[in-house]
Amino acid sequence: MARPPVFLPPAGYRQKRVRDAAHLLPVLGVGLLLVPLLWTPSDEAGGVGNAAALLYVLGVWAGLILVALGLARALRPDQEEDSEGGASP
């Protein structure tokens, strides 16, 4: 009797890692968006102003959108599999 392979096929393993990254993206986003709360106010010496904090938050927000777009494209099934009659989930 043939034993099943111990490791996942490379495509399945990659798909699983991309899903794991997609699950961790909101946690990373919350962590990055909370960073400005740790900054000292601008009225103290060496503090950061509200404009810089706002630009940081908007940059993180845009970055999270781009990362989510990349992950969504990586999770999308290949077009070749669909044309061969493969079942789509």
Average pLDDT across the chain, whole number: 84
Give per-residue pLDDT as tens, 14-52: 888 999 999 999 999 999 999 999 988 877 777 788 899
For residue 82, what pLDDT band results from cuts at 50, 70 and 90? very low
Give the pTM: 0.71
Cα four-point dihedral sign 22, 27, 30, 33: negative
Q: Answer whether residue 79 shows pLDDT above 70.
A: no
15-44 burial, b for 16+ CB within 10 Å, e for fewer?
eeebeeebeeeeeebeebeeeeeeeeeeee
pLDDT of residue 54: 95
